[in-house]
Amino acid sequence: MYASVDELKSRLLGRFDGIYTAVKGEGDDAAETWPEAEKDLADASSEIDGMLANRYGTPVTAEKALPILNDWTLTLAVEKAYMRSAGDELPKKVIYASTEVRNKLKLAASGDFRLMDVPEISSGAGGISIVSGSDPVFPREKMTGF
């Protein structure tokens, strides 16, 4: 994942606890976890990787690209968080931000937007293929006039 639950908590400010339920692990010193928040972050990361997979190797690990991927992941996870919350409408700012992220992902997938220091997957174009087989039954010389 490109972002953590703590980062999502910071992005959502006071809304986090109203949307997600903490799960306490077993034992006295067990930490709380937020499985639904982790799922939303994983889903957002998967959406990003899915859009980028044809152009870049995923998950992306280039240091210079991680800040923007972190921001995109948090933006998409916030959208998912609001979809979990009560109410029947997403805030306009959330809709706008998630639409912008998806537009940039489309640009990155098409090559019109490049992620810093992330090598592209080779398309394999421009290679040479040697094909061998039996002689053709209808060579060009026999097909004259047809």
Per domain, the residue ranges of the chain are: 5-143
pTM, two decimal places: 0.78
Q: Quick count: other Cβ atoms within 10 Å of Cβ 43?
A: 15
Residues forming beta bridges with residue 32, ordered by sequence position: 24
pLDDT per position as a tens digit, 109-141: 998 999 989 888 876 555 566 667 777 777 778
Contact (Cβ atoms closer than 8 angstroms) between residue 57 and residue 65:
no
Contact (Cβ atoms closer than 8 angstroms) between residue 89 and residue 27:
no
